[in-house]
């Protein structure tokens, strides 16, 4: 079992800086997911760990040993790619075992046992004598996983392994990958741009943007305590609403956020986190807003909104509303009686408000109460 530590890792390709500076500690037996938008440097980070790219600067340590100058085969990692990377002229079995015997680490008997074990785990016994051309995409990916498993590596590195599969198969394979990890307990680093995959698979999730890690936390903490605006808007679908506001009353009075169209009271403990009269951004998730159909107008901090777009999602109605000059999205009861142009009142969950610095985007305050101090920004 193995830990992987990246310190100030950097990779430049000519005039492109693919990885700016990565600090990341992957724990023994952990399933760590790296998620981020296209081009943020996820695959390059994984390739640096595998040894397929040479770092411009920084360290890659495995169990404390610096491997940054080691060849890929010296690192004892196994990589699974999006495009399966199987040899078309070889059977499933040959694809899984190719190169193992010549490397001299395993005897014929051991290789047979490992293949049989992996075949049972992945339910691919009937694919062992078939060539990739006679397999479906899902079957090819199982064989590719089998190839990684039989090598009994210290670390699995997976680069968007489910992206070429259809939606139903992806969900099924996601569950199987989770089960496989529970069984094998091999340290796994998994790259994806899909936040659902990240949230469902990761023990912890590292959110990357612009070649840097923005936050590393377990999925629910990322969702509840995003360290900055980028993480807040990347995690969660539909994305968190962001509304410009000014902090008032944070000098000892009752703190509020003043938006052009409403004033929203904050819990008293917000005073210590916020500067009075500073510009801020209110973050509130669509699922933390409630539609009030018959309002008495007396609720403090309610938001008057006009409905522009109604999207029926089956389990909810997603409403896009105008609030002053801003747009806000709210989830409503799927059978709510709402029409375009309706003026309605939105209320919010006071335990689910987020305040961000208007300039830096850093999280300043989360109204949720927790026993554990939340990570407020990367590097804290
Ligand atoms: P995607 O999700 O689209 O695969 P990614 O987050 O994995 O994106 P990388 O593939 O790591 O991103 O690429 C990061 C940046 O580095 C991109 O701007 C990319 O164009 C650039 N890049 C990656 N590999 C090379 C290379 N071999 N030569 C030059 N530039 C590269």
DSSP code per residue over 137-155: HHHHHHHHHHHHHHT--SE
Per residue in 290-326, pLDDT tens?
888 655 666 667 898 999 999 999 999 999 999 999 9
CATH 2.40.50.140 domain locations along the chain: 241-366
Distance 43 CA to ligand 1 centre (A): 7
The mean predicted confidence, pLDDT, of the chain is 91
pLDDT for the residue numbered 341: 93
Given a cut of 80, whether residue 101 has pLDDT beyond it is no
Q: Can you tell me the mean pLDDT for 363-378?
A: 68
Helix (H) and strand (E) counts in the chain: 9, 21
What spacing in Å lies between the alpha carbon of 159 and ligand 1's midpoint? 13
Strands 155-159 and 187-192, sheet pairing: parallel
- Where does the chain hold its CATH 3.40.50.300 domain(s)? 4-229
In the prediction, which pLDDT does 298 show?
64
92, pLDDT greater than 60: yes
- pLDDT (tens digit per residue) in 143-156: 999 999 998 899 99
Query: What is the per-residue DSSP string for 18-66?
Result: EEEEEEEEEPTT-EEEEE--TTSSHHHHHHHHHTSS--SEEEEEETTEE
- 63-68, Cβ contacts within 8 angstroms, sequence gap of 24 or more: 63/2, 63/3, 63/154, 64/3, 64/5
At 222 the three-state DSSP class reads: helix
Ligand 1 nearest-atom number relative to CA 43:
7
Ligand 1, atom 31: nearest CA belongs to which residue?
A: 13
Model confidence at 157, pLDDT cuts 50, 70, 90, reads: very high
CB atoms inside a 10 Å sphere around CB 116: 13
Instruction: Give the separation between CA 55 and CA 310, rounded to whole angstroms.
Output: 49
Q: Quick: pLDDT tens for 66-77.
A: 999 999 989 999
CA–centroid distance, 76 to ligand 1, in Å, is 24
299 token code pair: 């609720």
Architecture in CATH of 241-366: Beta Barrel (2.40)
> Check: CATH 3.40.50.300 for 4-229?
yes
Among 256, 252, 219, 249, CA closest to 234? 219
Ligand 1 center–CA 214 separation, angstroms: 18
**Ligand 1 pocket by Cβ (under 6 Å):** 13, 16, 18, 36, 38-44, 193
Q: Which has the closest alpha carbon to 81: 162, 9, 152? A: 162
Predicted confidence at residue 373, as pLDDT, reads 53
Q: Whose CA is nearest to atom 22 of ligand 1?
A: 18
For residue 230, the CA-to-ligand 1 centroid distance in Å is 20
DSSP 8-state code for residue 370: -
First to last CA, the chain: 28
Whether the Cβ atoms of residue 207 and residue 222 lie closer than 8 Å to each other: yes
Task: State percent of the chain over pLDDT 70.
Answer: 95
- Where does the pLDDT of residue 379 fall: very low under 50, low under 70, confident under 90, or very high at 90 and above? very low
- Preceding omega of 238 cis (within 30 degrees of 0): yes
Cβ–Cβ under 8 Å, residues 4 and 162: no
At 112 the three-state DSSP class reads helix
Q: For residue 159, is pLDDT > 70?
A: yes
Q: Is the pLDDT of residue 380 over 50?
A: no
Quote the crossing angle between the two packed helices 137-150 and 167-184, to the nearest 10°.
20
| Average of per-residue pLDDT across 179-191 | 95
Where do we find the tokens 């500076």?
Answer: 21
Residue 70 CB: number of other CB atoms within 10 A? 14
* Structure letter (DSSP) for residue 359: T
For residue 351, pLDDT beyond 70:
yes
- Per-residue pLDDT at 191: 97
What six digits make up the tokens of 127?
């694919």
* pLDDT higher than 90, residue 252: no
**26-49 tens-digit pLDDT:** 999 999 999 999 999 999 999 999
Mean pLDDT of 101-111: 81
- 294, 260, 257: which is closest to 274 by C-alpha? 257
The confidence score (pLDDT) of residue 329 equals 97
Residue 375: pLDDT above 80? no
pLDDT at 277: 86
């Amino acid at each position: 079992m193995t830990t992987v530590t990246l310190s100030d890792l950097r990779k430049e390709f000519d005039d492109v800086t693919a990885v700016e500076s990565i600090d990341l500690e992957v724990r023994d037996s952990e399933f760590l997911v790296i998620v981020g938008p296209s081009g943020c440097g996820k695959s390059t980070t994984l390739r640096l760990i595998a040894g397929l790219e040479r770092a411009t600067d920084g360290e890659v340590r495995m169990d404390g040993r610096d491997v940054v100058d080691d060849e890929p085969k010296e690192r004892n990692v196994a990589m699974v790619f999006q495009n399966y990377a199987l040899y078309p002229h070889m059977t499933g079995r040959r694809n899984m075992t190719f190169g193992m015997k010549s490397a001299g680490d395993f005897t014929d008997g051991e290789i047979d046992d490992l293949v049989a074990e992996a075949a049972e785990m992945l339910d691919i016994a009937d694919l062992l004598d078939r060539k990739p051309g006679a397999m479906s995409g899902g079957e090819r990916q199982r064989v590719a996983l089998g190839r990684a498993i039989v090598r009994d590596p210290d670390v699995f590195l997976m680069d968007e392994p489910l992206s070429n599969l259809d939606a139903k198969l992806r969900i099924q394979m996601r569950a199987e990958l989770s089960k496989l990890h529970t069984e094998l307990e091999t340290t796994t680093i998994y790259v994806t741009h899909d936040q659902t995959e990240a949230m469902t698979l990761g023990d912890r999730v590292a959110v990357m943007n612009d070649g840097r890690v923005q936050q590393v936390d377990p999925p629910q903490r990322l969702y509840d305590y995003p360290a900055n605006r980028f993480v807040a808007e990347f995690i969660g679908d539909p994305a968190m609403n962001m509304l410009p506001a000014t902090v008032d009353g944070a000098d000892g009075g009752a703190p509020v956020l003043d938006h052009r169209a409403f004033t929203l009271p904050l819990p008293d403990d917000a005073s210590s986190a916020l500067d009075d009269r500073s510009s801020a951004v209110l973050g509130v998730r669509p699922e933390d807003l409630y539609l009030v159909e018959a309002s008495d107008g007396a609720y403090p901090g309610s938001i008057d909104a006009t409905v522009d777009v109604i999207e029926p999602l089956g389990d909810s109605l997603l409403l896009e509303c105008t609030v002053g000059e801003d747009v806000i999205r709210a989830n409503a009861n799927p059978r709510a009686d709402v029409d375009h142009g309706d003026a309605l009142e939105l209320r919010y969950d006071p335990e689910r408000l987020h305040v961000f610095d208007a300039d830096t985007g850093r999280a300043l305050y989360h109204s949720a109460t927790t026993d554990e101090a939340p990570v407020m920004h990367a590097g804290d």
